[in-house]
């Protein structure tokens, strides 16, 4: 860790006021953990009728049906009420609306507030990650990102889960580890913010690819081939972008890649599955009804990889299928006839 900061204002010995912005599945899962740990937790969602329904029924019917919310969790559609007195704020808003929400909340934040993005995406029409947006839209804040193999549904079901808090601010990592740690939830730390954030965004692309492979009734050899070569691509891209490729062998990298590429709990995987079964992309996205960040990320990464000359055959292939109307069998034939290169391009040897 490179920066040590005073965390006295966010000590976890007492119940802290903590806000979670976003009423979707992940915001709800995270808010539920924090409330369960005894903190004064406020969850903000934009829609008052949804907020009222959550308060009255003790359940977020649309995003996490059947899951009882912690009775201490305070749910509001008033941003000021959610933020009041909070020195820790989690932002769990899809990348498409992330900047807009941060712009609204910025004037309400006290200097030195801890801002944590949980969003695994890249800003539309730019190459900004969410921590870049937090830095651009606020000043004097302490910034981190949370990412890892974390299906919201499994977190709230109490399945043993681990995640990564990444920040250059070691005291921030320590505080967030304490705030989130529970009997079923562990939090590891990293100082590679860019790598952790990039990993979370990139893996969504490959979940679309493996979802499509599943739809085409490919077997486990194919899935293993895809996940392993996806990791190689992710590390190659990370290195070209200046991130530490080693971050990609951790929970936020290969951990989340395996999870998201292996399960239809992933919305990105389900988009790939539906397209693989012949459904148009727009229809598939609409049917999922929740955010599938990978669709936009494919476009942005393809553009960036081309610009920088980074070899990403799987990104090019899924881009060709989703956005260039290329037939799936032709794209697969091209992939399988590509150059056969080295297996492992990284070595621990000096
Ligand atoms: N779900 C998961 O398992 C995980 C998700 N993530 C990441 O977390 C991020 C959020 O995902 P998730 O909670 O799953 O998304 P969902 O699609 O479940 O929910 C999105 C939430 O954001 C709200 N929202 C959208 N636009 C705005 C806006 N302009 N102003 C205010 N609120 C808005 C939606 O409100 P409304 O309902 O009114 O439309 C909804 O409450 C994503 O980047 C995802 O990659 C990370 C780990 C796991
Ligand atoms: O990031 C996730 C699990 O770690 C959730 O993936 P999806 O957004 O594809 O559902």
pLDDT in tens, 146-188: 999 999 999 999 999 999 999 999 999 999 999 999 999 999 9
Nearest CA to ligand 2 atom 6: 266
> Could you tell me if the ipTM is greater than 0.95?
yes
Residue 46 labelled as part of a binding site: yes
Tokens standing for residue 56:
């009255």
CA distance readout (Å), 338 to 100, 116, 320: 42, 41, 15
> Ligand 1 pocket check: which of 19, 23, 24 to mutate, most ligand atoms within 8 Å of Cβ?
24
H-only helix segments in the chain:
25-36, 48-57, 79-83, 95-105, 130-137, 152-156, 170-180, 193-215, 220-241, 256-261, 267-276, 281-288, 294-308, 313-323, 328-336
pTM, entire model? 0.94
- CA 51 centroid distance within chain: 23
Nearest CA to ligand 1 atom 20: 24
- Active-site residue numbers? 203
Of the candidates 314, 313, 220, 328, the residue with the CA atom closest to the CA atom of residue 281: 328
Tokens standing for residue 190:
């990293």
Nearest ligand 1 atom, CA 47: 38
What's the whole-number average pLDDT of the chain?
94
> 151 C-alpha vs ligand 2 centroid, how far in Å?
6
207 CB within 6 A, ligand 2: yes
- What is the pLDDT at residue 126? 81
Nearest CA to ligand 1 atom 16: 24
Does residue 341 or residue 181 have the better pLDDT?
Answer: 181
- What is the pLDDT at residue 303? 96
Which distant-in-sequence residues (6+ apart) come within 8 Å of 207 by Cβ? 260, 261, 266, 268, 269, 272, 294
H-only helix segments in 79-189:
79-83, 95-105, 130-137, 152-156, 170-180
Among 62-66, 108-112, 305-309, 346-350, the least confident range = 346-350
Ligand nearest to the CA of 255: 2
> 34 C-alpha vs ligand 2 centroid, how far in Å?
20
Q: Can you name the residues that pair with 189 across neighbouring β-strands?
A: 165
> 24 C-alpha vs ligand 1 centroid, how far in Å?
4
Q: Give the DSSP letter string of 236-271.
A: HHHHHHT--GGGGGSIIIIIHHHHHHS-TTSHHHHH
pLDDT in tens, 35-77: 999 999 999 999 999 999 999 999 999 999 999 999 999 999 9
pLDDT in tens, 275-305: 999 999 999 999 999 889 999 999 999 999 9
Of the candidates 140, 126, 264, the residue with the CA atom closest to the CA atom of residue 201: 126
């Amino acid at each position: 860790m490179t920066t040590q900061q005073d965390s006295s204002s966010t000590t976890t010995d007492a119940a802290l006021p903590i806000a979670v912005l976003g009423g979707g599945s992940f915001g709800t899962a995270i808010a539920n953990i924090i409330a369960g740990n005894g903190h004064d937790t406020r969850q903000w969602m934009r829609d008052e009728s949804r907020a009222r329904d959550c308060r009255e029924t003790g359940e977020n019917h649309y995003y996490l049906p059947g899951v009882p919310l912690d009775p201490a969790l305070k749910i509001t559609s008033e941003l000021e009420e959610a933020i009041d007195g909070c020195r820790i704020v989690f932002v769990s808003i899809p990348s498409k609306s992330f900047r807009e929400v941060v712009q609204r909340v910025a004037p309400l934040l006290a200097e030195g507030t801890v801002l944590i993005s949980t969003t695994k995406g890249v800003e539309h029409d730019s190459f900004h990650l969410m921590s870049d947006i937090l830095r651009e839209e606020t000043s004097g804040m302490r910034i981190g990102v949370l990412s890892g193999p974390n299906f919201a549904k499994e977190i709230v079901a109490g399945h043993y889960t681990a995640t990564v808090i990444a920040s250059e601010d070691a005291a921030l990592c320590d505080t967030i580890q304490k705030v989130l740690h529970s009997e079923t939830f562990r939090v590891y730390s990293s100082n590679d913010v860019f790598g952790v954030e990039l990993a979370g965004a990139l893996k969504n692309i490959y979940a679309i690819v493996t979802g499509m492979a599943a739809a085409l009734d490919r077997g486990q050899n194919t899935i293993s081939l895809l996940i392993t070569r996806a990791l190689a691509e992710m590390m190659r891209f990370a290195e070209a972008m200046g991130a530490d490729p080693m971050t990609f062998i951790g929970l936020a990298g290969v951990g989340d890649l395996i999870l998201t590429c292996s399960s239809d709990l992933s919305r990105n995987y389900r988009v790939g599955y539906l397209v693989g079964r012949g459904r148009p992309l727009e229809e598939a996205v609409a049917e999922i009804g929740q955010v599938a960040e990978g669709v936009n990320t494919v476009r942005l990464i393809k553009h960036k990889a081309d610009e920088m000359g980074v070899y990403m055959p799987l990104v090019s292939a899924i881009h060709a299928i989703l956005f260039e109307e290329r037939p799936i069998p032709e794209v697969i034939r091209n992939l399988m006839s590509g150059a056969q290169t080295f297996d492992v391009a990284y070595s621990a040897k000096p």
